[in-house]
A and B are shown apart, each in its own frame.
Chain A
Amino acid sequence: MSAPAIILENVSVELGGRPVLENLNVEFESGCLTAVLGPNGAGKTTLLHAILGLVPYKGHILFGKERREKRPRLGYVPQRLDLDRGSPITVRDFLTAVQTDRPLWTGISRERDQQSRAALERIGVAAILGRPIGKLSGGETQRVLLAQALLRRPEILLLDEPAAAVDVSGEALFCDVLEQVQDELGITTLLISHDLSIVSTHARNVVCLNRQIICSGPIAAVMTPDNLKRVFSPHTDVFDHSHSHTHPPA
């Protein structure tokens, strides 16, 4: 395992007096994709919020081999944006707003516009730059959210169930784009998911969470039926899924 990018030491979070995360001790390997896996209510999003510094926590969250407390540049991809379909805010507006504090009503400089276009080109959706962001499909929105996260040249990329609002084909496409970007830039990536197929296909390491760390390590070692039962439920069964997906024509 290469040097850790994020180190959690005895990290606990309480929200409204209720423990959400309890005494987490884990390291996230730098330069690769680590999935954080767990059922609903396991504290996955809270973990990301703690790493972002959004929620108060006990313990230490340290970054890099120097184990510094100061956060590096973080790119964050949320599940969705809170924006109604009638809003005229465009993808161009959104990508400019994440780059600069100069107000959008004073116009957008050519340099910012080129950077936005380049970010969209990298993930193959340059044509949507001028479209209202509220009118994009779920898959397009997720790619715009990935583009905004990459615009800041982050050292660590945090993705909070990015494919939750996307259909199956959109989800696969998004993950392919993510993997391509990850290979290209070598960014440390934390992907929150409860989708086992995404995790097993795209992650190198897995951290299984259910308020506490259940298990962590390379995917082959961690994704065992016993571990998955411990994470999701003692009543869950795991079935081998190795048949071909080629179906005969109807």
Chain B
Amino acid sequence: MDLLTHLVAQIFPFSWLEPEFMRRALLGLILIAPACATMGVQVVSMRMAFYSDAISHSAFSGVALGLILGLDPRWTMIAFGVLVGCGVLIFARKSELSSDTVIGVFFAAVVALGVVIVSARRGLARYFEGVLFGDILTIQTVELWAILTLAAAILIFQWLAFNRLLLLAMNPPLAHSRGIRPAPWEMAFGILLALLVMVALKAVGLLLVTALLVVPGAAARNLAKSAAGLFWWASAQALIASVLGLYLSFIWGSATGATVILICVLFFVGSFGYRMIKGAR
């Protein structure tokens, strides 16, 4: 990991990146933000923003369960998020309810469980600030390894699944006629997305993690002229917003995650303006 943070310092030779924690924060952000942006392309096309919202809100319960069970809450949070994700996907497939309804039920259950545990054990509330707002500046080596592993897994998944998920989102029977079985691919996507959401909480917090998935993809739709353009525009914007957001949060003393998201939103506004002007011509 030292090699990677050293590499970050070589690529971005800025004085504000001299402190070790800033280099680690930047490494974490430039791994997690493009991963979110690329998965966000499918989140938008498969209409799964509400799903990622439900997963992120399960963090309350995951952390609370870890604390009362005496386990490391960072990992119980991730494990609980994946469990909730699997539950939503399996229940939506087996029941005749719409997926929005199933997600709504799980959303309510995980938030209520978290609130019940926290309100019954008042000493736990102080642990939740980091979950709500994220804190990339305190990222640990083990968390960076987790992010690096996940980013590599997502890159491999995007290589294998990009075309398949595109067809599945457009018409599942058509995808099936091409030998693409919907269940395993949707399940794999849902599990990876749940993992990503929980890991990305460290960067931007519960309140903004869905924005990191959706906003770069939405801005990319205004600029891209093809599927490849969509993928690369979303990744590039997330990457630039990570570097710029970290720098501006350093200058302003603001929360890094929120600053990164604000820049993503500005990109979206700019891209929307570009599209409007182009459409008017």
Q: Taking beta carbons and an 8 Å cutoff, which residues of A are in contact with B? A: 16, 48-49, 52-54, 74-76, 78, 80-83, 86-90, 92-94, 96-98, 100-108, 132, 145, 148, 152, 158, 160
Contact = CB atoms under 8 A, between A and B. Distances in A.
Interface in B130-167: 158-160, 162-164, 166-167
A54 B176 contact: yes
B173 A88 contact: no
B178 A152 contact: yes
B163 A90 contact: no
Given A97-B163, A103-B158, A152-B178, A78 B227 contact: no
B226 A52 contact: no
A83 B227 contact: no
10 contacts: A49-B173, A78-B174, A88-B221, A88-B229, A89-B226, A90-B227, A93-B166, A103-B159, A104-B226, A106-B159
B170 A103 contact: no
Contacts of A52: 173, 176-177
B228 A105 contact: yes
B166 A97 contact: yes
Interface in B196-231: 221, 224-231
Contacts of B173: 48-49, 52, 54, 76, 78, 160
Nearest to A86: B221
Contact of A88 (B163, B167, B225): B225
Contacts, number: 93
Given A87-B221, A90-B227, A104 B169 contact: no
Given A104-B162, A104-B227, A81 B170 contact: yes
A158 B177 CA distance: 10
B231 to A, nearest CB: 4
B45 interface: yes
Interface of B: 45, 96, 158-160, 162-164, 166-167, 169-174, 176-178, 221, 224-232
Contact of A107 (B45, B224, B228): B228
Nearest to B235: A105
A150 B226 CA distance: 23
Contacts of B171: 78, 80-82
Contacts of A145: 174
A97 B164 CA distance: 7
A96 B167 CA distance: 11
Contacts of B160: 101
Nearest to B230: A88
Contacts of B221: 86-88
- The CB with the most chain B CB atoms within 10 A, among A74, A75, A82, A148, is that of A82
Contacts of B230: 88-89
Contacts of B159: 103, 106
Nearest to B177: A76
Closest 9 CB pairs of A and B: A76-B177, A105-B231, A103-B162, A97-B163, A104-B227, A93-B227, A88-B224, A105-B228, A81-B170
A92 B226 contact: yes
Contacts of B228: 93, 104-108
Contacts of A48: 173
- The CB with the most chain B CB atoms within 10 A, among A16, A93, A158, is that of A93
Nearest to B222: A86
Given A80-B171, A160-B173, 20 more contacts: A53-B176, A75-B177, A87-B221, A89-B170, A89-B226, A89-B227, A90-B226, A93-B166, A98-B174, A100-B163, A102-B163, A103-B162, A104-B163, A104-B228, A105-B162, A105-B228, A108-B228, A132-B225, A145-B174, A158-B177
A88 B227 contact: yes
A48 B232 CA distance: 37
A116 to B, nearest CB: 13
A78 B221 CA distance: 25
A161 to B, nearest CB: 13
A87 B164 CA distance: 17
A148 B177 CA distance: 11
A145 B167 CA distance: 12
A88 B220 CA distance: 9
B176 A98 contact: no
Given A83-B170, A86-B221, A103-B159, A93 B226 contact: yes
